[in-house]
Every structure is written in C-alpha cells, then in structure tokens.
Amino acid sequence: MVYDAGHYDVIVIGSGHAGVEAANASAKRGANTLMLTLNLDMIAYMPCNPSIGGPAKGVVVREVDALGGLMGQVIDKTYIQMRMLNTRKGPAVRALRAQADKPLYIAEMKHQLEKLDHLTIRQAMVEKLIVEDGVCKGVITETGAAYYAKSVVITTGTFMRGTVNIGEISYQSGPNNQRPSVKLSENLEELGFKLVRFKTGTPPRIHSKSIDYSKTEIQPGDDQPGHFSYETKDKIIDQIPCWLTHTNEVTHKIIDDNLSLSSMYSGQIKGAGPRYCPSIEDKVVRFHDKPRHQIFLEPEGRETEEVYVQGLSTSLPESIQEKMVRSIAGLEKAEIMRSGYAIEYDTVVPTQLWPTLEVKNIKGLYTAGQINGTSGYEEAAGQGLIAGINAAASALNIEELVLDRSQGYIGVLIDDLVTKGTSEPYRLLTSRAEYRLLLRHDNADIRLTEIGYRLGLIDEERYQKFQTKLTLIKEEQERLQKQTIKPSDELNVALEKVNESHLKEPVKALDLMRRPEIDYSFITQFAPADKEIPNDVIEQIEIQAKYSGYIEKSLQQVDRMKKMEEKNIPENIDYDAISGLKEEAKLRLKEVRPLSVGQASRISGVNPADISILLVYIEQGKIATVS
C-alpha cells in the first residue's frame, strides 16, 4: 500500500560518499532535504581500503572541503595515519593521504549529518522513482512510502543488482553482505536508462594478532601530519603505522594453479573491471615475470584488530585465499576474518547525463558516485557534492554549478564522464588533468572558496579568513617584488651553502626566490618580513614565483579552452542536417549532445574539421534545427 510520506525539495537516495555530500550540500543551500539509505549504521561506509586521499584524489577532498563538503573535516577528525606523498616532486602532484578509522569515520559522518538543518535522515529501501511526463517527482520505498520532491539524486553505488563472487560461489548482494538494490535497478531500466555492468573486488581482512610484524617493514605516518580541511588546525595525534610485505613465487604458484577457480577467470564474471585496481590474479597473469608484488597491511581502525591486506584483491575460493595469504612473509599464521570477493553491479552510462549530473531525459533526476561508472570514495564525494548543489538549484531555482577542467579535478572527472563515457570503472589520475599545475592541493581554497561562498556553502567567518589569506599573499608578493637584495659576503656564503652561484648584481627578492635552491626562509634572512607570515601563505608565494613560467603557459591554454567553452551549441541542433559532418561525428554528437563547442571537441570521433564545420553551422544560426 502506497502512502504519502511527505514532501521535500530534494531527496537523496543513498548515504555512501556521494550521498552524504549531496545531502550536505543540498541542505546547506537551504533545500529541505531527505536522505534515504539502507542502513543508518553504514553511512559513508568504506567497503574497500581504509584510506582517503592520494594523488589527484587528495586534491578532490580539498576541493570538496573548499565547497563546504564534509569528507575533509571528517577524515581529519578520524584518521589514524597521515602522509604527504610526492614531497620530492613538484608542487602540482603533492598529495595527502590518510589512513582512516573506518568505524569512527562512519560515526563522525553520521553525527555531522544529524546536526545539519534542513536535513531529514531516514532508513529505507527505495524501489521506484515517480516519473511523470519526463519529470522526476519523488520515490517509493519497499514499505510503500511515497516521498515527493522537486528533485531526486540517486547515489546507490555498487548496490545496483549487486552480485558477490567468491570462487564459484555467487549470490545477489551489496558490498559486505548488505542488501542489494534490485528493484530500483529494474525500474531504471524500465525508465529507459542504458545500464552496463562493472565489477570490482576487495582483499581479505585478517586479524592483527595473527600477523608476525617482525617479518614486515614499518610504514609510519608523517611526524608533522598535514590535514585535508582548510578549517582543521595543526595538531599532533598518536598515529598507527602500516606495514609492508611482499608476495613470492609460492604465492604466485598457488594463484597460477587455481586460476580456473577464480570467479574472474572462470567466466562467471562478465563486467568490466578497473585496470588500475587489478586483482592479484590479474597481476600474476599479466605481469608473469615479476617475482613479487607489494602487500601493505593497513589497520581498519583504532578500536579494531581487523587489518586490510592491500594488494591482494581476489575472487579465488576461500580455501585458496587462505593458502595464498599464508604463503606471504609475516602472514604464515594469518587468520582471515572476512574473505576477499569481487562484486558486479549495474552502472548508468554517464553520457546520459548533463554536466550538472542531471539525467538528460528525466528532468529533476540526478545521479552521482559509483553508479555513474566511477570508483573510489573521493570520486563519489566530488560528484555527490555537485549533484547535491544542482539538485537544490533546480528545486529552489537558484544558481547551478558546473566546474570546468581548469577549476578542479571534480570538473575533469565529470567532464570526462559525461563527454567521453567510460568503459571501465573510472578513477582519477593526475594525468587526466591537462592543467594539473593549476589544480594543486595547496590552492583548492583559492580556486573554489569564492564559489562556495556565493552558493551558500561556505559561511561568512570562513570566507573572511580566506580573504585575509588572499590579502596577505598579495601584500607579501608585492613586498618581495619591490625589495632589492644586494650582493654581500654574507649572502654569497649562504648561497654557496645551498649550491647556488654568487650574486653579482642587486636583484629583487622575488626574483632571487626563483632560483631552484632558494626558498622563502632563505630570502627573509636578507629581506625580512614586517609581520608574521603563515606557512600556507609562504607556500603560495614560493610556488607562484618558482613555477611562474609554467603557470603562465597553463593559464594561456585555459584562456584558449574557455573561448571554445563559451561557444554554446543550441540544445535543439539537428546534426543530421549538417551535411559536412562525418557520419561518425554525427553519431557521437547526437549521443553526447555537448553543450559547447569546447565540449564537442573532446568527444572522440569528432575531429577538428568537424568542429570547424560545426562552428560555421552554429554561426549561421537558427536554420534547420529540430523543433
């Protein structure tokens, strides 16, 4: 029996990493928001590795934070280990990564959401969308509750018709034996969605007491742990180390001998898996001559003895998993607590979405997270945030947000998805970003805080703090630009010490800082600041001085890109009527329906001549469009 259970502005289905950010953003924008999820004890649950961040992904966490999202603050409160990666490389690729305390992360996230105004949280299984005349008006749960809303966001992750596979065992299930979401998936199909099946996997978890750590190598956190959120204050906490060990020939032989029993190799699994997260079976098969593979042992939290065996994702039968694990140094007596498994699930072909993450054919309906073909907590969070912002926008008739490829990794991610689609679970990599020098983790606040403030996601106090930082950067840059450093014996001795050549002529302080071995602290010995300059300000000044040439080049490219991005394509354009276009280009353009010429130019199969023709066609205007 269906009953009217209430009316909202926005409904978010799911409370994974996408769902929580969507709900948070929507509520913060003032939309009356309802979040429905299968299990309230599993909010922002991490079904796989207990870590957040890393190259590209870590930048996303900071972007989410700069737009008022939760992930950064919550991980800062609950991490057990923090490391800055790529410290010896350039500033564009430095990245933070945290080991998470999984149970604590869930508790903290749940509490953050519970404290929000405008947000209602409810445990429920959604089975059906209410769609009338191509407009989504609400959802119906398995208990017959009909919730109505102006917009709906689906973030149901790997639950969609999920199937868990362990050896020849296979059963319908969401991750970690949660209930799968079958009816909703079927409903999407009925509504005309194109769905494809993807797969991913996870390694076994083992009991810490059964590990002989003496045979492994310690991987401690940083002495001075950084943090993700621009709001978090520096603090030192007790960190918990990870441990490193390796597979060996014996491990590989066990895998080789039992390959046919793996769900992935027996043909039981058909979905496309991610190349960047291969199972151990894949690694052994594809890189047969590698004598060993790294295995990181990562604690799942402070108050648990469960340890995640990173590097050993598998769908071999349980009995083989045990043999395999025990062949590894330090794990000879390992006790498996949960088996590794592979999961297959439905995803929505993402070219069915606008860059706002709204579904092209159903107004008011948005999808975000793993359901869009991505993989990873951060990728989910970034999309959830954008979908939440835009669902609220459409419900309340306020400003939408689409980030372009120069504004954030989130922009790159979504543009890739909706423009190119994906043939495997999509993961962010720094190399996917053509302007990665601009998309640094240190400047996510500079890139996005203004937007966050304008959209009502960043409060006044934080915004003022941010303004102060900007002013400080500018003033200090100007000071260094004006102040001259003269050659002196003292200076030249100091230069020698850092392997730099002597100074012969006076130079501006800022120019001296462009030398590779000279940093801000060196400069202030000879041109001291008149006030205290915080580290994050110093960082900006150094980076902008040292890499100005490259930054300048990137900015020019961005300018060029933006011009193409500003050329809008009318929504009702009739590609078939454009005679000069190649057939393949027509097909792809009709499928993606790009909003701008810039977006069109990124579609594979659309070449520069097609773009020229398109430009001419648009310019001549209004003839031969579909009415």
Q: Is 55 in the site for other proteins (CB under 8 A)?
A: yes
Report what 208 binds from other proteins, ligand FAD, none; CB cut-off 5-8 Å by kind: none
Considering only 23, 48, 74, 272, the residue that binds other proteins (CB under 8 A) is 48
DSSP 322-359: HHHHHTSTT-TT--EEE--EEEEEEEE-GGGB-TTSBB
The 10 Å CB-count burial string (b at 16+, else e) for 399-424 is ebbbbbbbbbbbbbbbbbbbbbbbeb
Report what 620 binds from ligand FAD, other proteins, none; CB cut-off 5-8 Å by kind: other proteins
Q: Is 525 in the site for other proteins (CB under 8 A)?
A: no
Considering only 27, 34, 38, 365, the residue that binds ligand FAD (CB under 6 A) is 38
Considering only 40, 85, 240, 398, the residue that binds other proteins (CB under 8 A) is 85
Contact 348, 188 (CB under 8 A): yes
> Considering only CA atoms, which of 173, 100, 105, 197 is closest in space to residue 339?
173
Contact 50, 300 (CB under 8 A): yes
Q: Is 157 in the site for other proteins (CB under 8 A)?
A: no
Q: Is 329 in the site for other proteins (CB under 8 A)?
A: no
Report what 13 binds from ligand FAD, other proteins, none; CB cut-off 5-8 Å by kind: ligand FAD
Considering only 14, 54, 69, 373, the residue that binds ligand FAD (CB under 6 A) is 14
Q: Is 218 in the site for other proteins (CB under 8 A)?
A: no
Per CB under 8 A, contacts with other proteins among 422-441 are 429-432, 434, 436-437
| Shortest distance, position 227 Cβ to other proteins, whole Å | 19
Take residue 279 and report the two structure tokens written for it: 């199972």
Q: Is 13 in the site for ligand FAD (CB under 6 A)?
A: yes
Non-local (6+) Cβ contacts of 589 within 8 A are 575, 581, 600, 603, 606, 614
Q: Is 353 in the site for ligand FAD (CB under 6 A)?
A: no
| Shortest distance, position 52 Cβ to ligand FAD, whole Å | 10
Q: Is 567 in the site for other proteins (CB under 8 A)?
A: yes
End-to-end Cα distance, the chain: 42
The 3-state DSSP composition of the chain as helix, strand, coil percent (nearest 5) reads 40, 20, 40
Considering only 103, 204, 376, 388, the residue that binds ligand FAD (CB under 6 A) is 376
Residues 180-219 vs ligand FAD: string with x where CB under 6 A? Answer: -x--x---------------xxx-----------------
| 53 or 594: CB nearest ligand FAD | 53
| Shortest distance, position 620 Cβ to other proteins, whole Å | 4
Contact 432, 412 (CB under 8 A): yes
| Shortest distance, position 153 Cβ to ligand FAD, whole Å | 11
Rounded distance, CA 374 to CA 409, Å? 14
CA angle 193, 199, 203 (to 5 degrees): 150
What SS3 class is residue 189? Answer: helix
Using the rule CB under 6 A, give the single segment among 32-40, 453-461, 529-537, 560-568 that binds ligand FAD: 32-40
Q: Which residues pair with 341 in a beta bridge?
A: 202
Return the H-helix or E-strand segment holding 122. Answer: strand 119-123
Neighbours of 624 (CB within 10 A): 11
Rounded distance, CA 174 to CA 156, Å? 10
Q: Is 579 exposed, middle or buried (0-12, 13-18, 19+ CB in 10 A)?
A: exposed
Q: Is 19 in the site for ligand FAD (CB under 6 A)?
A: yes
Rounded distance, CA 107 to CA 116, Å? 15
Number of residues that bind ligand FAD (CB under 6 A): 34
Instruction: Give alpha helix (H) positions in 82-226.
Output: 102-114, 182-190
Contacts with ligand FAD by CB under 6 A lie at 13-19, 36-39, 47-48, 125-126, 155-159, 175, 181, 184, 200-202, 277, 343, 369-370, 375-377, 380
Under the rule (CB under 8 A), what is the footprint of other proteins?
48-49, 55-56, 85-86, 89-93, 203, 274-278, 283, 286-287, 290, 292-294, 296, 310-313, 420, 429-432, 434, 436-437, 516-517, 547, 550, 553, 559-560, 563-564, 567, 578-580, 597, 604, 608-609, 612-613, 615-617, 619-621
